[in-house]
Amino acid sequence: MGARATDKAAQPDRALARHQTPIISHVHAQGESRMTPSTPFSLDGRTALITGSTKGIGRAIAAAFAAAGARVWLHGRDQEAGERLAGELGARFVAADLAEADGPSALAQQVLEAEDRLDILVNNAGTATIQPLERLNLPEIDRTWQLNLRAPVQLTSALLPLLREAAHVGKDASVINISSIHETVPAPGNVPYAMTKAALAMYTKGAAVEWGRFGVRVNTLAPGAVKTNMMDEYNIGEEHFAKVARRTPLGRMGEVTDITGPALFLASAASCYVTGTTVTADGGSSLNLVRYGDEWVLPGTGEAPSQPVAVDDIAGND
């Protein structure tokens, strides 16, 4: 037993060996005499899939990843819009409806047939249902759970072989689950949505624990209020933006580009020792979240809708 313990102790720690000098060695391999600030955030040679990436935050993340050197897979339901954006970014587009039970499997199959590895997966597609608890509409609740939780869980598991291969070849792989500041504090009318995001955050932690040994990192990115198509669906305008700005420590509403930096951090070697955590990008608004009240639900009225309202979330399933 003693000899076996000694042999085991003498073996290099795989996780430690994987990341001992990933950034410095990369820079030296390029013949550089020093590490430049941009080096850790480069995505050169990496392949990324971003769900719900034809608009909103997903589109912004896809553009940022492409600019950082990644080979990008776009996803959505709108074939025409997706192919048009793919042409602009030099990306590939795959259509699938993640609101359908077989949608995640269909999406995964198309990627599995085309790629040998996947370095980055961003689970961004989702939906929000605004409905007070006493008037819950179960079909809408089911759709919210399907898009916000079941789809990312199913898709990530299906693509795990590609993520593991990327980690084996390129030192690590990164899964980024787009959540919300409401994963920790709900607002009136959005409890079902908050429930799915809280569950997604716990899934993130569990996956990080189980898959760390493969070199697969799993983290959550939680945006605050961001100007996206969802605001247009609710006819939310400048009056509401001003209210959000007043209760946000940084004094303004979020833009989609405010989310791309944290996403790039989590996708790149800059976060090679970060897993199982939530990165919040909300301008500090969650510090005042308990005082939002009904303004978040229906700005200017303080009333919840009489019928359930479901719209694409921060980036959408399109």
Annotated catalytic residues are 193
For β-strands 216-223 and 120-123, DSSP reports them as unpaired
Rounded distance, CA 122 to CA 83, Å?
A: 19
Rounded distance, CA 229 to CA 231, Å?
A: 5
DSSP run (H or E) holding 144: helix 138-145
Distance of CA 63 to the CA centre of its chain: 14
Tell the burial category of 4 from Cβ atoms under 10 Å away from its Cβ (0-12, 13-18, 19+).
exposed
- DSSP code for 13: P
Rounded distance, CA 165 to CA 46, Å?
A: 12
Cβ atoms of residues 176 and 122 within 8 Å: yes
